[in-house]
Amino acid sequence: MSTFSGLSVGLSSLYASQRALELSGQNISNVNTEGYSRQRADLQSVGGPVEPAIHSKYDGAGNGVMVAGVDRLRDMFLEARALTERGTASGLAGDRVLLGRVEAVLSEPGDVGIQQQLADFWDGWDDVANKPDSLAARSQLIERAQTLAGGINSAVDALDAQYDATHQQLTATVLDINAVAVGVADFNRAIVSATQAGLSPNDLLDKRDVLVQRLGELAGVTVKHGEAGSVDVFLGDTALVTGTTTALLRVDGTGGTPPGSGSVAVVWADAADADATGVAAVVGGAAGSMLKGLNEVLPRYRGQLTAIADTVRTQVDAVHDASAFDQDGAPGEHFFVITDGKLMVNVTDPAKIAASASAGAEGTGDRGGQKAAQLAELSTAKGGADELYRRTVVALGVEAQAAGRRVEIQDNILSQIDAARESESGVSLDEEMTNMLAFQKAYESAARFMSTIDEMLDTLINRTGVVGR
């Protein structure tokens, strides 16, 4: 081994320590950067030749150290698990928000909800039964009937508005999914190019993985790692991103009229597999939650409200019919009607309320409130509107509460996974300070080593053979 080779060994140590110090500084600079993964220099020793020469052999300790590469510290298993759980958490959070909005529409329990309006309506019949000849009681009954019809219609309209808003939000989300997928494909292209050129693509990988996590939240995707650092992104078994190419999605269906009478789907507008184009995509995350709301949740509660309206109409008209008589002794007519899907009060003249079971002597007037009393008792009828509405409110409350619990559980799971990911890929300032001290000492030691070799060479070159000095 040549004496001069010691300088090369020391120089390699200086370079390696300097690179490691720079990486520690990069980590510290990005301690608060979203998606940044800490980096470490992969230091490898440079050994001597292992093939013997013809007339010589290598008897040195080695040729120093080299930076073989820069490692990006990430656990692929944790990343894949976080991607899956993040999509689940996003979908559950969407379910909770949607159910909360339905609860806000019904406003139960409360003094202004449909339950109270039903109670006031039946109480109005009770007042007419007690005072069948009272114009005030009859007028108040019509007013309460209109309030009830308006309350149910307003709730249905509010659910329809929520349906339209959710449909628009789904359309915007699908456009966002397409845009993010294009971004992932662009990063794949840059990463492959950098890798093939022998450059470090770590920063590009971090930015690409942030977009992949975003896709997980929006659509519940899975990934498969390809060559040269690229990833393929899948929705179900169909590829959304394949290397540098991207498939596109679109929303199919408007939900019909009334809203919810038809289906809505997210389909492949342009899939890599031509046979998949136009086929429904398997989406989760936020988009999956919106689809569930459009195809299941909102139509179900809208249907229950319209069923309650129809039950009120049917029950009242079954009593307020030709066997009942108004103040003029005329047979009763439909009290409620359904017009364009809306519950409407058909009787607007207080005298036309058929509260009596008798036409009276020669049709001279009301002779009692027997029919009104029967109608008042419908408030407790088995299978009546009140019972149906209570079931709806209870079911909504249970469903919303269950959704809230699932969100809390999922958030706990996700926080544990994120903590594990942070311990693996996050930057620890204490650890980086320790590394900086270690590499600083290594740099100082390498410099001292080179100074020592320099002194040895000075002695060897300038003083060998000099006597008496």
Q: What is the pLDDT along the chain (469 residues), one digit of tens a residue?
A: 566 777 888 888 999 999 999 999 989 998 998 889 899 988 888 876 666 666 666 666 778 888 888 888 888 889 899 999 999 999 999 999 999 999 999 988 878 889 999 999 999 999 999 998 889 999 999 999 999 999 999 999 999 999 999 999 999 999 999 999 999 999 999 999 999 988 889 999 999 999 999 999 999 999 999 888 899 999 998 999 999 999 999 999 888 888 878 889 999 988 766 667 778 899 999 999 999 999 999 999 999 999 999 999 999 999 988 888 888 888 889 999 999 889 999 999 999 998 888 776 444 444 678 888 999 998 888 889 999 999 999 999 999 999 999 999 999 999 999 899 888 888 889 898 999 999 999 999 989 988 988 888 888 888 776 655 5
Q: Which two tokens stand for residue 358?
A: 């008798």
pLDDT at position 362 is 44
Helix (H, G, I), strand (E, B) or coil at 373: helix
**Number of other CB atoms surrounding residue 413 within 10 Å:** 14
CA nearest neighbour of 152 among 375, 394, 395, 392: 392
Q: Is the bond into 258 cis (omega within 30 degrees of 0)?
A: yes
What angle do the packed helices 76-106 and 285-292 form, to 10 degrees?
A: 30
Contact, 289 vs 90, CB < 8 A? yes
CB 229 within 8 A of CB 192: yes
Question: What one-character DSSP code corresponds to residue 293?
Answer: I
Torsion angle in degrees (nearest 10) through CA of 74, 75, 81, 83? 20
Q: Tell me the HSE value of 267 on the side-chain side, using a 13 A CA sphere.
A: 14
Q: Using alpha carbons, select from 311, 313, 458 the residue that is nearest to residue 389.
A: 311
Helix (H, G, I), strand (E, B) or coil at 73: coil
* Location of structure tokens 């110090």: 21
SS3 58: coil
Indicate the helix (H) or strand (E) that contains 91.
helix 76-106
Q: Which helix (H) or strand (E) holds 461?
A: helix 429-462
Q: Give the pLDDT confidence score for residue 363 in this predicted structure.
A: 46
Asked if 355 and 134 count as a contact pair (C-beta separation under 8 A), the reply is no
Question: Is 147:122 a contact under the CB 8 Å cutoff?
Answer: no
What is the DSSP code (8-state) at residue 107? T
Residues β-bridged to residue 287? none
Tell me how long the chain is. Answer: 469
Distance in angstroms (rounded) separating the CA atoms of residues 414 and 73? 20
**Dihedral angle sign, alpha carbons of residues 57, 62, 67, 72:** positive
Could you tell me how many helices (H) and strands (E) the chain has, helices first? Answer: 10, 10
**Tokens coding 148:** 């009830």
- Which is nearest to 281 in space by CA: 295, 269, 298? 269
CB 163 within 8 A of CB 294: yes
Structure tokens, 312: 């009120």
Do the beta carbons of residue 188 and residue 243 sit within 8 Å?
Answer: yes
Task: Return the structure tokens found at 91.
Answer: 């979908």
Angle in degrees, CA 280, 285, 289, rounded to 5: 75
Residues 6+ apart with CB under 8 A from 155: 105, 106, 114, 305
